[in-house]
Structure 1
């Protein structure tokens, strides 16, 4: 049975640029009170002593691929949302390149129906733009869908939008956030042909960031930004991977007033091209993991607020698929269970503060997508909360990986921080490695 009232005592609360010691009272789905010392007013209150732990808002992941419908041999909404909850991610926005693709309102609502039955985390979906579905885009209810996703370079599931006239029409026709995957297709094709002519299908993985090059990324993102400025569109550039691209973005105005924003993913902040020898196709992503210098420039842009959001681009494939030669090994990897622990590892290395982690993974996605009453620890907000023990090391192993695909690019890594409790809409759904048998997930709503 759902616990109606919970009191979290003696926590270090990380919220809005500060860490304060205090208590949090949850009533029903919402945070009722935050204070220095709150006493339970009745015996039916569940009291959790969070002494020595930090409480963060639930992470909002603005880019995941949960593979349902049509690709459920890799993953599904049920399995991956459960892994997300274990990783402190309480809300996700899923991408449209499933099978069939989410490019009609009918297919979008089918995904919402699946999630309503099986998701362990709060959910919403991007609607996919194509060269010929502008009519469907114009029918969308902006308060019921997270945003619009365009692939300006082909990736897993071919949804390439390559007609400049169509692109401009889409940019002019919607006030929704347009999220884009930016890689120039012509550049990639030329580079791929050069290396395929040399090596055949078994191209050494170290050439992946040269095939899907800095030039391909910069050319595409700069064009998208130019079009957004021309049309006044609200543009969000997914998964920056190069230092050069970071100069296209501004930190001069508050996020709520920005028309052009950017995201970086955990893998581009963690890995570099030096890891290909050891990790091989298990760190093959689009856009590619690039140089150490790129990684450092991404960190710099994240910390100075040119980059607004940290996400995962969680995109699982089976082990058999990833073990194929380069030409047929798909790009993407699973990350939702390990994203927050990995970024917390960077806190331990004094690379980023806890306050900044919360800003980039919780507050900013809520601001950027106008998500209603989430992303903060505030009275009246949904009680999506994560308790973290910063000194409870654990190692990523096969037997504790929750992804349906059964592997992780972090396998063998030891993280110092552990998610001990996850609350979703006021309900304790995960504690000390075990899931509660409760249904608490909700469809995200938007205040636009």
Structure 2
């Protein structure tokens, strides 16, 4: 029997299970067999993975494609993702209406995406809630996001006038009526922020820590309680996206109960690796803000014990020129999709001795399970042949110029992270080999339609 592709003799990372040396055989884009490392099956192509670790391809649950160069982001950002071992991503889609506009945005991705992709719907109005069921059924989207940071004056400045607790509860009640739906929420009490912000600005503060002080962690935690409590009353699972505060995680631990709807938690790599003391100034501006080292350590414990189930990048591919002239005027967010795996390996595996299978679960199988992504996230027969081949002894020296992203900077610029992605395989197609994009490959991403 001849296979299309064989990954020979690697240390295979089975999410949530363990690491075992094995040979992986691929046919027709799927994993056909997990074989003993001693076997030598015939194949049209063989990747020698001896001495390397084979992870399931990463699935980034939190990206903002189109926030950089909208015409080209699907091309540049998905190629950047593949260089980091990411074979799938979920991106937020927001529009005046969802049912009609989503198809156009999907068509752009179909033409240009190098990795598989799916959507979350951004909810900012009651009109969005009214069309949710039909839009979700039509476009195969089971996840939404409510932006509590766009309440009141903050939202009005961006043209959002309906974001309030009533919209939140309406979204939760509708989500509860859709099997498999998950309502994600950006938790940040913007109504209290001016109390802290104005004295900081008056004092002439323009440092990264000031951005944390104007929106301290307890403002996230207060919103987490509101979301989880409303979710319980509405009977709807909730997902606290990009959690930044250890206090917020402690609250979730206390509120979880077997007889209540699940409270899922996602964090992002910057909340696990960058503090408000980083010497990067406005480059580090993000919402919610970067926090203290104590918050970083507390969130890592949540990754270790499973209280945090998914990890993403919150990738925003804007230019460095938008990050100023001061922290108050700078845009929020930064790129990071290509650094997920090196950060996990450096900060999680090497520095904190968190098992590789735990990290793989948070970046692959848990994402696939939460968002009901078919045939994704595991290394087992019948699943899509999506892999990231990693040299743990290799080094990723972060340079923005090494990636095709529209963004021309990185908050990790110059950092030396242990772990190097050697190869990326998407449904049996080698997209990246020896750390380099395989130029002859046409756009190969497919839409992740969910039911």
* TM-score (normalizing by structure 2): 0.90
Match of 2:182 in 1: 177
- Tell me the secondary structure at the aligned position of residue 94 of structure 1: strand
* Mapped contact 1:74–1:404 kept (Cα < 8 A): no
Distance 2:262 2:100 in 1: 29
Displacement after TM superposition at 1:358 (Å): 0.4
Match of 1:344 in 2: 345
Match of 1:18 in 2: 18
Q: Report whether the alignment pairs 1:247 with 2:250.
A: yes
Alpha-carbon distance change, 254 to 433 in structure 1, aligned in 2, over 3 angstroms: farther
Match of 1:136 in 2: 131
* Mapped contact 2:208–2:277 kept (Cα < 8 A): no
* Aligned partner of 2:425 among 417, 423, 426: 423
* Mapped contact 1:81–1:120 kept (Cα < 8 A): yes
* Mapped contact 1:161–1:167 kept (Cα < 8 A): no
User: Which runs of no fewer than 5 residues in structure 2 stay unpaired?
Assistant: none
Cα deviation code 1:317-368 (max 9, x no counterpart): 2111113212210110100111111111121223422111101111110111
Distance 1:251 1:304 in 2: 15
Distance 1:183 1:263 in 2: 15
Match of 2:32 in 1: 32
* Mapped contact 1:171–1:231 kept (Cα < 8 A): yes
- Tell me the secondary structure at the aligned position of residue 117 of structure 1: helix
* Mapped contact 1:183–1:287 kept (Cα < 8 A): yes
Match of 2:8 in 1: 9
Displacement after TM superposition at 1:136 (Å): 1.7
Match of 2:223 in 1: 220
* TM-score (normalizing by structure 1): 0.91
- Tell me the secondary structure at the aligned position of residue 287 of structure 1: coil
RMSD value over aligned CA atoms? Answer: 2.4
- Of 407-416 and 128-137, the range deviating more from structure 2: 128-137
Distance 1:61 1:251 in 2: 27
Distance 2:328 2:423 in 1: 41
Cα deviation code 1:32-51 (max 9, x no counterpart): 0111044334xx62111111
Q: Report whether the alignment pairs 1:194 with 2:199.
A: yes
Distance 1:160 1:367 in 2: 34
Distance 1:194 1:220 in 2: 23
Distance 1:102 1:373 in 2: 32
Q: Report whether the alignment pairs 1:234 with 2:231.
A: no
Displacement after TM superposition at 1:173 (Å): 1.3
- Tell me the secondary structure at the aligned position of residue 120 of structure 1: coil
Alpha-carbon distance change, 108 to 361 in structure 1, aligned in 2, over 3 angstroms: same
Q: Report whether the alignment pairs 1:118 with 2:112.
A: yes
Displacement after TM superposition at 1:403 (Å): 1.9
Alpha-carbon distance change, 252 to 330 in structure 1, aligned in 2, over 3 angstroms: closer
Match of 2:322 in 1: 321
Distance 2:306 2:104 in 1: 37
Match of 2:53 in 1: 54
Displacement after TM superposition at 1:258 (Å): 6.1
Alpha-carbon distance change, 268 to 402 in structure 1, aligned in 2, over 3 angstroms: same
User: Which runs of no fewer than 5 residues in structure 1 stay unpaired?
Assistant: none
Distance 2:164 2:255 in 1: 33
Paired residues, number: 433
Displacement after TM superposition at 1:316 (Å): 2.6
Distance 1:19 1:253 in 2: 30
Distance 1:426 1:251 in 2: 43
Match of 2:73 in 1: 76
